[in-house]
Amino acid sequence: DQSVKIAPSILSADFADFGREIQAIEAQGADWVHVDVMDNHFVPNLTFGPPAVKAFRKHVKSVMDVHLMIAPVDPSIEAYADAGADILTAHFEAGPHIHRTLQAIRGAGMKAGVALNPGTPSEAVAHVLDLCDLVCVMTVNPGFGGQKFIDMTPKIRALRAMIGDRPIHIEVDGGVDPTTAPKVVAAGADVLVAGSAVFRGGSVENPAPYGENIRAI
């Protein structure tokens, strides 16, 4: 489906070689590059922060889609704008003031996203949709790549209906592979994040599997 974007998550890349990994996935057909920021507080895993994301920016020719799994969010928004994030997504569950957070992300010149954990209902975003460019539906509990897909298709359908004709992406993140992707696309998703399903079988020395994996999703 040409209208559906694939956003490989570099959480499944070689952490010692991010620059070449980003170049490889873009050369193999990635539409966006998904960057998972984890703080060992909001989620039980730790990845990287603004200086690393700024270094990634030099290699990203497409869209740098930064998914913050951190709390609090607001004190870091300027740093991710400076790092060159095109889209900055914060979790609804990460603080009490999602409306303020989305305003601040747009105010810093980025597109604004809100992510919903599996236990969070679609209604959480009902009154902030006009501040959103993207809603990310988590289909795993955030923190790790390679987890089993949790079916959130009723939530995706409800969001698609709620969004109507507004230009808001529905992104799905977690356990997306050639089996689960068609289900979430049928429900209304238009951006698919995939880590393990893109990077499996390939490497910077042998990147062709990345392309085969992207086309299979």
Catalytic residues: 36, 173
Rounded to a whole number of angstroms, the minimum distance from the CB of residue 145 to Zn ion is 9
201 assigned binding-site residue: no
Q: In what order do the strands lie in the sheet with 32-38?
A: 5-8, 191-194, 169-173, 134-138, 111-116, 87-91, 63-69, 32-38
Are 157 and 151 in contact by the 8 Å Cβ rule? The answer is no
**H or E, element range at 54:** helix 50-57
Query: Which spans of this chain sit near Zn ion (rule: CB under 5 A)?
Result: 36, 67, 173
9 is in an annotated binding site: yes
**Omega of the bond leading into 8 within 30 degrees of 0 (cis):** no
Q: Counting contacts by CB under 6 A, is residue 113 touching ligand DX5?
A: no
Give the one entry of Zn ion, ligand DX5, none that residue 195 binds, where binding means its C-beta sits below a cut-off of 5 to 8 angstroms depending on kind: ligand DX5
**Stretches 16-24, 78-86, 88-96, 169-177: which one binds ligand DX5 (CB under 6 A)?**
169-177
Nearest distance, CB of residue 27 and ligand DX5, angstroms = 20
What x-and-dash track marks residues 29-48 binding ligand DX5 by CB under 6 A?
-----x-x------------
CA dihedral 38, 42, 43, 49 (to 10 degrees): 10
Q: Hey, what are 57's tokens?
A: 């920016």
- The only residue of 83, 194, 214, 217 in contact with ligand DX5, by rule CB under 6 A: 194
Residues 6+ apart with CB under 8 A from 169: 5, 113, 133, 134, 135, 190, 191
Q: Which residues bind ligand DX5 (CB under 6 A)?
A: 9, 11-12, 34, 36, 67, 140, 142-143, 145-147, 173-176, 193-197
